[in-house]
């Protein structure tokens, strides 16, 4: 990716592709120029410190974009419970539009993009994206069935770069639950960036679950920007298991009083996996609340990084911000890096953060072993108990079971 000339040629070819919305071309050109100016992320840049992307992108010297014409979808991946299906194959929306009960799911249509100063990968995504989904929920509508998004990466895809952009809009006093999962069919190299904008109007309520499970040789960048108005709530649960290289970045702007955001993440990593979380919560109005909760279990040579920031504007009195990250280091070679940051300009606030890392408590292991449980089992129990604390907070029973099953599956292998 460092070879800008090559990349420029790549972009020239890309922007003339058929599927590209002609109105977005200028925005794409601007975004690409910004990317060229900023260059590829490096570990020396504070915004990309600790990021696996900074190292990984060197492997992607030749980006290759491709469109998969085969729209088939293996239905063994479908979840058993009743839900709305959104199918994305190799980054492109292939399922039919859904229009019912005040819910509308269509192809991504936006053509204006914003810039974030230090984030050049966002510019890259804006230049090269293929349209993903756009979900709109009308006011006063409570979507009963969860929406499930399948991110399916097929083995017959012959490119190595996928970028997509998505949008979720919840109108006043509406409610929705979204579950998203990644399905990888092969172990080819892939650089995937996903950009999701979320807008919640007054009293809207969105819960989002994300299962980012086992993959090899995939470099993933997930970016979410959410804007919350008065009394709206946004909850997010991530389960990351053995993702080879991934950065999850979320910016949440609490722009209305009583808005609430809760971000939760489980990381269960082994081998050489590297998962990074970068969260930024901006309390811009009074009486806003936020919570960040991260638990990591790290085996082998895995690395987990957590960078969470709570920003409190001088207007945002009575803010309640909470952040906790805990990690279990289960091997001598695993690493946990963290930067829990507070930036506060208001005096009547309650903000706290905690971060701890260490190994499994030997006394608890002893307790379990003295009751006839062998050591590996005792360890599994400890890890399960440690991570389950996050899963217990999941309100949707189906999703909670998926997460539990995943955890059991990991422990049994």
Partner 1 sequence: MSASDEIIQQYQDRSEYDHGFVTDIDTIEVPKGLSEETIRFISKQKKEPQWMLDWRLNAYNRLQKMEEPDWQKPKYPKINYQDLYYYSAPKSFKDGPKSLDEIDPEIKKTYDKLGIPLEEQKRLSGVAVDAVFDSVSVATTFKDKLKEIGVIFCSISEATREHPELVKKYLGSVIPVTDHFFATLNSAVFTDGSFVYIPPGVRCPMELSTYFRINAQNTGQFERTLIIADKDSYVSYLEGCTAPMRDENQLHAANVELVALDGAEIKYSTVQNWYPGDKEGKGGIYNFVTKRGDCRGKNSKISWTQVETGSAITWKYPSCILRGDNSQGEFYSVAITNNFQKADTGTKMIHLGKNTKSKIISKGISAGQADNTYRGLVSVHPKATGSKNFTQCDSLLVGNKCGAHTVPYIENKNSSSEVEHEATTSKISDDQLFYCRQRGLNQEEAVSLIVNGFCKEVLQQLPMEFAVEAQKLVGISLEGSVG
**CA 194/CA 179 separation, integer angstroms:** 15
Is residue 331 close enough to count as binding partner 1 by CB under 8 A?
yes
10 Å Cβ neighbour count for 86?
Answer: 21
Is residue 46 close enough to count as binding partner 1 by CB under 8 A?
yes
Identified binder of partner 1 from the candidate list 149, 269, 294, 349, rule CB under 8 A: 349
Identified binder of partner 1 from the candidate list 5, 100, 348, 363, rule CB under 8 A: 348
Quote the DSSP letter at residue 142: B
Q: Which is nearer to partner 1, 335 or 400 (CB)?
A: 335
- Nearest approach in angstroms of CB 73 to partner 1 is 42
Q: Which is nearer to partner 1, 212 or 319 (CB)?
A: 319
Is residue 340 close enough to count as binding partner 1 by CB under 8 A?
yes
**CA 148/CA 177 separation, integer angstroms:** 9
Task: Kindly state the helix (H) or strand (E) to which residue 46 belongs, with its residue range.
Answer: none
**CA 352/CA 340 separation, integer angstroms:** 10
**CA 132/CA 250 separation, integer angstroms:** 18
**CA 238/CA 173 separation, integer angstroms:** 25
Q: Which is nearer to partner 1, 22 or 314 (CB)?
A: 314
Is residue 400 close enough to count as binding partner 1 by CB under 8 A?
no
CA 316 to chain centre: 27
- Nearest approach in angstroms of CB 117 to partner 1 is 15
Is residue 355 close enough to count as binding partner 1 by CB under 8 A?
yes
Among 110-118, 329-337, 394-402, 405-413, the segment contacting partner 1 (CB under 8 A): 329-337
For tokens 């194959």, the residue is 89
Is residue 365 close enough to count as binding partner 1 by CB under 8 A?
no
Q: What are phi and psi of 41, to 5 degrees?
A: -55, 145
Length of the chain: 413
Q: Where are the beta strands (DSSP E) in 47-102?
A: 84-89, 92-93, 98-100
Is residue 40 close enough to count as binding partner 1 by CB under 8 A?
no
Identified binder of partner 1 from the candidate list 67, 94, 116, 351, rule CB under 8 A: 351
5-to-61, 190, 210 alpha-carbon distances in Å: 11, 21, 36
Identified binder of partner 1 from the candidate list 359, 374, 405, 408, rule CB under 8 A: 359
Among 12-20, 33-41, 341-349, 394-402, the segment contacting partner 1 (CB under 8 A): 341-349
Identified binder of partner 1 from the candidate list 327, 382, 394, 399, rule CB under 8 A: 327
Among 24-32, 238-246, 280-288, 343-351, the segment contacting partner 1 (CB under 8 A): 343-351
Q: Where are the beta strands (DSSP E) in 155-287?
A: 161-170, 175-184, 190-200, 205-212, 218-228, 233-241, 245-254, 260-269, 274-283
Q: What are phi and psi of 332, to 5 degrees?
A: -65, -20
- Nearest approach in angstroms of CB 224 to partner 1 is 23
Number of residues that bind partner 1 (CB under 8 A): 35
Q: Which two tokens stand for residue 40?
A: 């590829």
Is residue 15 close enough to count as binding partner 1 by CB under 8 A?
no
Is residue 332 close enough to count as binding partner 1 by CB under 8 A?
yes
Is residue 78 close enough to count as binding partner 1 by CB under 8 A?
no
Tell which positions 305-324 bind partner 1, by CB under 8 A. 314, 317
Chain residues in the site for partner 1 (CB under 8 A): 46, 314, 317, 327, 329-359
């Amino acid at each position: 990716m460092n070879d800008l000339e090559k990349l420029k040629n790549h972009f020239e070819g890309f922007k003339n592709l058929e599927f590209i919305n002609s109105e977005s071309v200028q925005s794409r050109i601007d975004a690409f120029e910004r990317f060229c100016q900023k260059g590829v992320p490096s570990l020396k840049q504070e915004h990309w410190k600790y990021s696996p992307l900074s190292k990984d992108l060197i492997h992607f010297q030749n980006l290759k974009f491709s469109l998969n014409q085969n729209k088939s979808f293996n239905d063994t991946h479908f979840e058993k419970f009743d839900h709305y299906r959104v199918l994305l194959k190799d980054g492109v929306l292939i399922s039919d539009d859904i229009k019912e009960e005040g819910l509308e799911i269509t192809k991504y249509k936006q053509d204006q993009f914003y810039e974030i100063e230090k984030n050049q990968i966002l510019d890259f995504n804006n230049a090269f994206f293929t349209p993903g989904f756009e979900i709109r929920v009308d006011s006063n509508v409570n979507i009963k069935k969860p929406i499930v998004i399948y991110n399916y990466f097929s083995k017959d895809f012959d490119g190595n770069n996928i970028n997509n952009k998505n949008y979720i809009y919840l109108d006043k006093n509406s409610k929705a639950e979204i579950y998203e999962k990644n399905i990888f069919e092969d172990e080819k190299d892939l650089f995937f960036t996903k950009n999701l904008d979320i807008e919640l109007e007054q009293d809207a309520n969105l819960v989002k679950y994300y299962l980012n499970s086992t993959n090899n040789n995939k470099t993933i960048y997930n970016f979410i920007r959410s804007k919350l108005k008065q009394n709206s709530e946004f909850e997010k649960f991530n389960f990351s298991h053995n993702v080879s290289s991934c950065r999850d970045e979320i910016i949440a702007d609490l722009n209305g009083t009583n808005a609430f955001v809760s971000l939760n993440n489980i990381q269960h990593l082994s081998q050489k996996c590297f998962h990074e979380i970068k969260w930024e919560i901006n309390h811009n109005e009074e009486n806003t609340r936020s919570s960040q909760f991260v638990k990591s279990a790290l085996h082998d040579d895995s690395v987990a990084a957590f960078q969470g920031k709570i920003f409190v504007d001088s207007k945002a009195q009575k803010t309640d911000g909470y952040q906790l990250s805990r990690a279990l280091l289960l091997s001598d070679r695993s690493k946990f890096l963290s930067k829990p940051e507070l930036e506060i300009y208001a005096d009547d606030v309650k903000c706290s953060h905690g971060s701890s890392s260490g190994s499994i408590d030997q006394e608890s292991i002893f307790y379990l072993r003295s009751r006839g449980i062998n050591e590996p089992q005792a360890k599994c129990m400890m890890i399960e108990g440690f991570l389950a604390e996050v899963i217990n907070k999941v309100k949707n029973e189906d999703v909670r079971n998926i997460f539990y099953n995943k955890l059991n599956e990991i422990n049994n292998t």
